Every structure is written in structure tokens, then in C-alpha cells.
Amino acid sequence: MLPTDTSTTEPILKMTGISKTFPGVKALSDVALELRPGHVTALIGENGAGKSTLVKILTGIYQPDGGNIEIDGKTVELPTAEAAQELGITAIHQETVLFDELTVAENIYIGHQPRNRYGLIDWAAMHARAAAILHGIDAPISTRTRLKDLSIAQRHLVAIARALSIDARIVIMDEPTAALSYKEVEELFGIIDRLKKAGKAILFISHKFEEVWQICDYFAVFRDGRQVGAGRLDEVSHNDLVKLMVGRDVTQAFPKLPAEIGDVVLKVDGYCHPTEFDQVSLELRRGEILGLYGLVGAGRSEVCQALFGVTRPSAGTVTLSGRPIAVRSPSDAIDAGIVYVPEERGRHGAITAMSIVSNISLPSLKVTSRRNFLRMAEEFDLARKYAERLDLRAASLSQPVGTLSGGNQQKVVIGKWLATLPKVIILDEPTKGIDIGSKAAVHAFMSQLAVEGLAVIMVSSEIPEILGMSDRVIVMREGRMAGVFEREGLTPETLVRAATGNKEAAA
């Protein structure tokens, strides 16, 4: 599958010196990327390395702060998604963005339907052309089927057909295999092969090393918004890539304080879920920070959500402070002393239209009210206490949470849970998407909680955070536990190997 004659292929796309800054975050600094026709380039990096930002720049959704983009040797501007599409750039996303209620043909031609001479949609031509494209990629799908009736793999085929219909020359695939079964992945790779033969330049983004090796010709590794390596895949080893991907300075300052590890607080045994995870067992002690590492979709959040009563496990027992507990709803979990700070602040965490006070007091209303009547003064006291502890920056506690910065919103969400005086606190990606300053504050605070005797479970996809903060680390892969590691002597390579199931790298 390796290219036979790469020396003569000139890049079709050349990005140089691309930078992009968001308020408080330098997402990309001076990165470069080349894509060649008829070849697949792998883009590799941890979460937050800047891959998605680059894709968004390439598809005209973000504008870079600086840098140059060349297609066929000519400098181009990509001010809008339409402009990128006209230049032949198309992206197939993780969760393919298509329209469930429309037919396959309509999805393929949405936005550029063939017209007849009266300017109306030419349905016959649309179905005929869609069928021809689908035939070309060996996809046996009727053009009149509604998209909602297709499998995820078939949807990918439709997305690819759509890319072909606009005559794309550069196809970006953002973790296309994340939701596919083994067989579907093979089918997808068959199509990628055909796209290669048709001379398309493909950017393939994936966490899975085996796939990268199987399908890609070139690679580019991003880390912390920089390009740290690029070249031909046949010139590097698995180990080289792992090192490039994680090889940052792990001695980065993490304010982990020595906490006294006490008795077992939470014990989970043989925890199973019909679709998300299988046979998960863990023990968590007072004062301990347990890191939960794994790739996106490894089942970490799902285990935590089951512990919190959002979903129901199918088997397994949970013991809290020596007593078995049955958690049927989040309300049960809160009463028992388990709280969960979800990953997505906007969607799961804060109620942005409500004030800081109301958000913080919401799970503690039983405590702040008397005889079923809320007491505002008590709520303000509670909110003030945790706002001070978390160093929350706000003009007034009556201010709606939606008016705060991302980091401060996160503090409100954490404060809300601490106010319930939990025994176990689960933090799901606690520093995802927040600025550096707030990140350090969250880390310091997490450490402080452990010292005060709380048991902490921290789900994180950031290796430095896992290594810097955890006393112990559980690595999950595909819904199962792939390893339990003590803090001492744990290396990034060990974690990545366990999380990806990459045996060759272990050699």
C-alpha cells in the first residue's frame, strides 16, 4: 500500500506558518502541512494538539492569524466554507453532518442540486448522477433511501459520495473510524484506496496507530499547537511516533501535594453496561486521586455516569464506605455522597441563564432551605464561601453564569458540587477548554481536596495532567480496563501503549 513513486509527487496543498490564537489559548503556532495527490497523510496528536483547529482553517470555518496556504502553487484565501468547497476541499467529520430525513441523493447534492432550464431541481439528473457516484465507490445504496435508515458506515459512504460530487481534490477525514466496526473499517479503507487511485489528496486524522500504519503514506505530528514532526511513514517506527506525540516536558509544574491516603471509600466490582463497558472494578481511597486515562470513546465517562446514576449498569456492585449502595438517579448519588462534574460545561454543567448563587446552591437546596422554603441569605453564604475558595472572578454573585469566562464557569460548576460536601468527586476532563491560569487553579484545588480527605476520580485525556495529578492510573480501552498503574515510574509511553493496544511500541 506504500506509494511506489513519491519523489515526483508535488504537494497539491501547502500550508506554512499557520498560527491561530483564541482568547487565552494559542491553538496553533507556526504549523506547516503538505498534502500530496494520490496519497494519505496522517495527522496525529493528543486531544487539544490543534488538529481540529487546523481542519477548521482548511475548511474555511476559522481564519488563521497568520501564515500562507497554497493550492497548486498558488496562494489562496479561505474566507468561508463555500470558498474552501469551491477550491475542492471537503471534510468528512467524526459524526458525519448529514440530514436524516432527506434521501441519499438529496444529501449528496444538498446545496448544489442539478437544475433544469427553468431553474427547478432536476430530480432525474440528481438521482442518476448520485447513483453513478455511488456505483463508482462500490456502494450498493439506493439513492432514494432516507439517510436515517442507513448504518453509520453507509452514511460515511454517502459523505464520501458527497465529497466526490463537488469534485473534491482534498478530502479530510476526521476520525472516520471512531464509530465503525472492524469490518466497516476495512470497507472504508477500500474506498480510501480507490480515492487514492483517483488522485485525491487525503488527510486522515486518527488516534489508532494500526490504522495509520495500514492506510497512510505520510505523517504529521502536532503537539501543543506546534508541528513537531512530519515525513514519510516508512522512515519512522511506532516508537518514534509515540515519542513525538507525547514527548513534552512531563516535569511541568503540577501542584500535587502529598495527601494522606486513608481507607477505601468507593469500591466498584464487576461493573458492566450492555453497550459501553464491561467488567470494570476499582477501589478508591480517601485522599487519593485516581486518574482514568484512555482514548476518546474508551468508556471512561460512561463508567462515571453510571456511578452517578445517569445511566444504569447491567451488572456489578458499588460499595461506599463499606456499605453497598444502589444508585438509581443522580439524586441518589448526591445523597450518598458521590458527585460528578461533567465534561461539557455548557451542555451538562451550568445553567447559564441562572445566577451564580442559584447554580451553586441548586444541588444543596435541601440544606439551605427550611420547611421547604428557600432562604436567600443561606444561599448567598454558601455561594460566597465556595466562590472565595475557588477564587471565582465575578462582579456579583447575582450575575448570570452565561456572562462568565469559561474558566470561571468551570469554577461555578465545581463549587456547586463541593457545596454538597461529597465523599467522592468525579471530575470529567476538568481542564478541557479552559485557559492556562484557570487550569493551574483547578489543579491546585483538586490537590487541596485530596489533602482534605476527599476521594477524587479524574477522567483526563491529557497525559501530563494524568501523570502530574494521579496517585494511581487506570487505563481503559474499548470499554475494558487495560491496566492499573502506580504513580511511581509511570511513563507516557506506558500509558499510550495501554490505551492504544499498541504492542509493537512495547518492544
Partner 1 sequence: MNTIRSLLARREALLVLACLLLLAAITARFPAFSTPKNLAGVFNDTSILIMMALGQSAVILTKSIDLSVAANVALTGMTVAMLNHLMPGLPVVVLILIALGMGMLLGAINGFLVWWLDIPAIVVTLGTMTIFRGLAFVESGGAWVNAHEMSPAFLELPRTLILGLPVLSWAGLLAILLAAVLFTRTGLGRAFYATGGNAVAAVYTGIDIGKTRFLAFVLSGTVAGLCGYLWVSRYAVAYVDVASGFELDTIAACVIGGVSTIGGVGTVGGVVLGALFLGIIKNALPVIGISPFWQMAISGAIIITAVVINARGERVKGRVILRRKELPL
Q: What is the closest distance, in whole angstroms, from the C-beta atom of residue 124 to partner 1 in the complex?
A: 37
Q: What is the closest distance, in whole angstroms, from the C-beta atom of residue 344 to partner 1 in the complex?
A: 9
- How crowded is residue 203: how many other Cβ atoms within 10 Å of its Cβ? 25
CA distance 435 to 430: 12
Q: What is the closest distance, in whole angstroms, from the C-beta atom of residue 26 to partner 1 in the complex?
A: 10
234 CB contacts (<8 Å, ≥6 apart)?
2
Task: Supply 382's cell numbers.
Answer: 454558601
Phi, psi dihedral angles at 310 (to 5 degrees): -75, -40
448 neighbors 255 (Cβ within 8 angstroms) = no
Write 489-492 long-range contacts (CB < 8 A, 24+). 492/242, 492/246, 492/247, 492/250, 492/463, 492/467
If the CB atoms of residues 317 and 352 are measured against partner 1, the closer one turns out to be 352
Q: What is the closest distance, in whole angstroms, from the C-beta atom of residue 319 to partner 1 in the complex?
A: 21
If the CB atoms of residues 103 and 358 are measured against partner 1, the closer one turns out to be 358
If the CB atoms of residues 336 and 387 are measured against partner 1, the closer one turns out to be 336
447 CB contacts (<8 Å, ≥6 apart)?
255, 256, 257, 259, 289, 469
If the CB atoms of residues 39 and 416 are measured against partner 1, the closer one turns out to be 416
Handedness of CA 418, 422, 424, 426 (dihedral sign): negative
If the CB atoms of residues 38 and 45 are measured against partner 1, the closer one turns out to be 45
* 3-state DSSP assignment of residue 190: helix
Q: What is the closest distance, in whole angstroms, from the C-beta atom of residue 335 to partner 1 in the complex?
A: 8
402 neighbors 355 (Cβ within 8 angstroms) = no
Q: Where does this chain bind partner 1 (CB under 8 A)?
A: 20, 22, 25, 27, 47-48, 50, 52-53, 56, 62, 308, 310, 329-331, 333-334, 340, 342, 346-354, 358, 362-363, 365-366, 369, 372-374, 402-403, 405-406, 416, 432-434
If the CB atoms of residues 47 and 94 are measured against partner 1, the closer one turns out to be 47
Q: What is the closest distance, in whole angstroms, from the C-beta atom of residue 352 to partner 1 in the complex?
A: 7
If the CB atoms of residues 321 and 403 are measured against partner 1, the closer one turns out to be 403
CA distance 354 to 402: 8
In this structure, what DSSP letter does residue 188 have? Answer: H
CA distance 449 to 457: 11
Q: What is the closest distance, in whole angstroms, from the C-beta atom of residue 403 to partner 1 in the complex?
A: 7
Give the torsion through C-alpha atoms of 425, 382, 431, 440, to 10 deg. Answer: -110
Q: What is the closest distance, in whole angstroms, from the C-beta atom of residue 325 to partner 1 in the complex?
A: 15
If the CB atoms of residues 53 and 96 are measured against partner 1, the closer one turns out to be 53
* Degrees to nearest 5, angle at CA 412 with 407 and 413: 95
Q: What is the closest distance, in whole angstroms, from the C-beta atom of residue 3 to partner 1 in the complex?
A: 31
